[in-house]
C-alpha cells in the first residue's frame, strides 16, 4: 500500500482542508495517510515553518498549500501499478530494478 505524508499544524485551515480532501480520496483510492504535526518535531518546524500543509510521497514533495489532484493521482496510479506488477511478477521486477528501469521512492 502506498503511504503519503502530510505535514500540518493545529489551527491551520489550509491543513484541515487538505486532510479532508485526502480523507475523501481514501474512499476511492487505497492508500495510507500519515499526518505529521510540524510542531511536534523541531526539525520539521524548522524545515517547514509556516509553509504547511505539504504533501509528500517518500521524499518527493507533491504539493504545498493546496492539493494537486493531478499529481496525486499520477503518483498513486503509477506506483499502485508497480506494486501490483511486483507482487505478480517478482522475478521480472527484480531484473528491471537491478537494471535501473524502476526507481523506488
The string of pLDDT tens digits covering residues 74-88 is: 888 888 777 777 777
Structural domain including 25 reads: 2-98
Is position 71 within any domain?
yes
pLDDT of residue 37: 97
Q: Confidence class of residue 97 from pLDDT cuts 50, 70 and 90?
A: confident
Is position 104 within any domain?
no
Is position 23 within any domain?
yes
Is position 103 within any domain?
no
Q: What single string gives the DSSP state of each residue in 36-83?
A: EEGGG-HHHHHHHTT---EEEETTEEEEESS--HHHHHHHHHHHHHHH
Q: Confidence class of residue 105 from pLDDT cuts 50, 70 and 90?
A: very low
pTM, two decimals, is 0.77
Is position 22 within any domain?
yes
Is position 42 within any domain?
yes
Is position 56 within any domain?
yes
CATH label of the domain that carries residue 20? 3.40.30.10
pLDDT digits (tens, 9 = 90+) for 9-63: 999 999 999 999 999 999 888 899 999 999 999 999 999 999 999 999 999 999 9
Is position 105 within any domain?
no
pLDDT of residue 92: 74
How many CA within 13 A on the CB side of residue 63?
Answer: 16
Q: How many domains does the chain have?
A: 1
Amino acid at each position: 500500500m502506498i503511504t503519503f505524508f502530510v505535514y500540518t499544524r493545529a489551527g491551520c485551515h489550509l491543513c484541515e482542508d487538505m486532510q479532508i480532501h485526502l480523507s475523501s480520496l481514501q474512499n476511492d483510492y487505497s492508500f495510507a495517510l500519515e499526518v505529521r504535526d510540524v510542531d511536534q518535531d523541531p526539525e520539521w518546524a524548522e524545515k517547514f515553518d509556516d509553509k504547511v500543509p505539504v504533501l509528500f510521497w517518500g521524499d518527493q514533495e507533491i504539493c504545498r498549500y493546496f492539493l494537486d489532484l493531478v499529481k496525486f493521482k499520477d503518483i498513486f496510479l503509477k506506483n499502485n501499478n508497480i506494486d501490483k506488477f511486483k507482487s505478480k511478477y517478482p522475478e521480472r521486477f527484480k531484473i528491471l530494478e537491478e537494471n535501473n528501469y524502476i526507481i523506488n521512492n
